[in-house]
Amino acid sequence: MMKRFALTGLAALALMASAAVAADESATIRAALAKVLPDFKPTSVKATPMEGLYEVEIGPQVMFVTGDGRYLIDGAIIDLESRENIAEQAQARARLRSIEQVGEENMVVFEAPSPEHTITVFTDIDCGYCRKLHEQIQAYNDAGISVRYMFYPRAGADSPAYDKAVSVWCADDRQEAMTRAKAGENIPKRQCANPVAEHRQLGELMGIRGTPAIVLDSGDMVPGYVEPKRLAGLLEQSASAN
């Protein structure tokens, strides 16, 4: 019995020592990044399956840094046994976490009657392919796909598309206003507290340059318009892979 307790105690000490080493390396990494990226604070620093390599999450962005804080790896990291891209998986998880932190209450949602998947679409009111996507909103919903819209007026804050996004958000019926605006109708111009700037900032951090930008419920991002049946297939394929 004493021997078992002794071994358990040694195991606990080993775990504590390992945690202390990890904490030291996390602090080293944070200090190193603060020197080169002073405006961005890591939301998490955690060990990867590769010894000495740490996954650093800054909002929706992910990078990999060595424990001594000297080397940063930006690109694919492939597990040759599973053939999986560890970096891509980490990036997908970070996107989802950042989007969920915004909350559906801060999005314009077109929910499917029997939802099987949920996509988040960064949209520009005046974007042609965004309008084409919205013309088929019922087809997406009928395919079991709920659509959550976040605003990404590409021309920035001082643009008609930005003003339209704010007016859609401030409308009494946001879904109706979104549909009318995307059909090219003039909707009443309104002002109120709104999440448009927050949406656009998150999109920029994700590296979005064009719209629509579709984030699947796996966290994978698909640029551009995808018709409903093909998107349903992509969602099923993504779900079976994860």
As annotated, the active-site residues are: 124, 127, 130, 154
Angle between helices 128-135 and 174-182 (to 10 degrees): 120
- In DSSP terms, 108 is beta-bridged to 149
Radius of gyration of the chain (CA): 22
Contact 76, 39 (CB under 8 A): no
Question: Which two three-digit tokens encode residue 48?
Answer: 């990867």
86-102 helix and 196-205 helix, angle to the nearest 10 degrees:
170
Rounded Cα–Cα distance for residues 73 and 176 (Å): 45
Task: Report the distance separating Cα 214 and Cα 140, nearest Å.
Answer: 13
- Residue 178 near residue 134, CB atoms below 8 Å: yes
What is the tally of helices (H) and strands (E) in the chain? 8, 11
Cis peptide bond upstream of 49, omega within 30: no
Tokens linked to 65: 């840094």
Tokens of 111: 């929910």
User: Do 177 and 134 meet the contact criterion of CB atoms below 8 Å apart?
Assistant: no
